[in-house]
Amino acid sequence: MKAEDLKTKTVDELKKLLLDLKKEQFTLRMQKAQGQLENSAKVRAVRRDVARVQTFLTQKANGAEAAAPATKKPAAKKTAKAKTAA
């Protein structure tokens, strides 16, 4: 799965894809436990795809927050710490 493909997907599509990948990951784990897994590299590829989709979901969530108009909060006052002599 390429990152370019994920950029064009909506949040709902990404969530559906994530669910499908998690199911596939579970299936591969069960096959491995039963000794039926033929392509062990597939486990790694699916794990990385899950991480890639989660990254894009996080980026889209943070992008939505950044795009929303934020209300200004008053700046917190910084207090100088007193130096103590030992």
**pLDDT tens digits, 30-63:** 999 999 999 999 999 999 999 999 999 999 988 8
pLDDT for 86 beyond 60: no
Whether the per-residue pLDDT at 29 is higher than 70: the answer is yes
The pLDDT of residue 20 is 97
Domains of the chain: 3-67 (1.10.287)
Contact 5, 53 (CB under 8 A): no
Per-residue pLDDT, averaged over 13-23, amounts to: 96
Q: Give pTM, 2 decimals.
A: 0.71
Contact residues for 43 (Cβ-Cβ < 8 A; gap 6+): 25, 28, 29, 32, 37
Side-chain half-sphere CA neighbours of 39 within 13 A:
8
